[in-house]
Amino acid sequence: MAIKRRATTFLALSMTTALLVAGCGGGGEDEAPAESELYKNPVTLTWWHNASQDGPGKTYWEKVAKDFSALHPTVTIEIEGIETNQLQRTRLPAALLSNDPPDIFQAWGGGEIREQVEADYLKDITDQVKDEVANIGSAVEIWQVDGKQYGLPYRMGIEGIWYNKDLFQQAGITAPPTTFDELNDAVTKLKAINVIPIAVGAGDKWPAAHWWYNFALRACSVETLRKASLENVFDDQCFVKAGQDLKAFIDTEPFQPNFIATPGQNDPTSANGLLANGKAAMELMGDWNKGTLDTVTEDQEALNKFIGWFPVPAITGSAGDPKAALGGGDGFACAKNAPAECVEFLKYIVSPEVQKGYAETGTGLPVAKGAEDGVKDPALKSILEATTSATYVQLWLDTAFGSTVGNAMNDAIVAIFAGNGTPEQVVEAMKAAARK
Partner 1 sequence: MTSTNPTLDLAGGASAPPAGPRPARRSSARAAETRRKWYEIIGLTTPAVIVYVMFVLVPMGFAFYYSLFRWRGVGPPTDYVGFDNYVLAFQDPIFIDALRNNAIIVFGSLLIQGPIALGVALLLNRNFRGRTLFRLLAFVPYVLAEVTVGIMWKLLLSDAGTVNAMLESLGLGSLVQAWLADLDIVIWTMLAVLTWKYVGFAIILLLAGLSNVPQELNEAAAIDGASWWQIQRHVTLPLLGPTIRIWMFLSMIGSLQVFDVIWVTSVPAVRSLGASATMATYMVDNGFFARLWGYGNAVAVILFAISFVAAVLFQRFLLRRDIEGAITRRAN
Site residues for partner 1 per CB under 8 A = 85, 89-90, 93, 96-97, 115-116, 118-121, 202-205, 208, 257-263, 267, 269, 402-404, 407-408, 410-411, 414-415, 417-418, 420, 433, 436
Query: What is the three-class DSSP state of 48?
Result: strand
**Least CB distance from residue 91 to partner 1, whole Å?**
11
**Least CB distance from residue 415 to partner 1, whole Å?**
6
Nearer to partner 1, 205 or 290 (CB): 205
- Please choose, from the candidates 327, 206, 330, 214, the residue with its C-alpha nearest in 3D space to the C-alpha of residue 271: 206
Nearer to partner 1, 34 or 435 (CB): 435
Q: Are 162 and 289 in contact (CB under 8 A)?
A: yes
Q: Are 153 and 140 in contact (CB under 8 A)?
A: yes
According to DSSP, the residues that pair with 107 across neighbouring strands are 331
Q: Give CA separation, 46 vs 24, 65, 107, 230, 291, in Å.
A: 12, 11, 15, 31, 27
**Least CB distance from residue 148 to partner 1, whole Å?**
18
Largest CA distance in the chain: 77
**Least CB distance from residue 404 to partner 1, whole Å?**
5
**Least CB distance from residue 52 to partner 1, whole Å?**
16
Rounded to whole angstroms, the Cα distance separating 165 from 155 reads: 27
**Least CB distance from residue 90 to partner 1, whole Å?**
6
List, as one string, the DSSP characters of 120-153: T-B---TTTTHHHHHHH-GGGGGGEETTEE-EEE
**Least CB distance from residue 132 to partner 1, whole Å?**
26
**Least CB distance from residue 15 to partner 1, whole Å?**
16
Nearer to partner 1, 13 or 261 (CB): 261
Nearer to partner 1, 143 or 154 (CB): 143
Strands 324-334 and 392-395: parallel
Angle formed by the axes of helices 238-251 and 206-219, to 10°? 120
List, as one string, the DSSP characters of 303-356: HHHHEEEEEPPB-TT-SS-TTEEEEEEEEEEEBTT--THHHHHHHHHTSHHHHH
Nearer to partner 1, 116 or 272 (CB): 116
Nearer to partner 1, 16 or 85 (CB): 85
Rounded to whole angstroms, the Cα distance separating 433 from 407 reads: 9
Nearer to partner 1, 186 or 433 (CB): 433
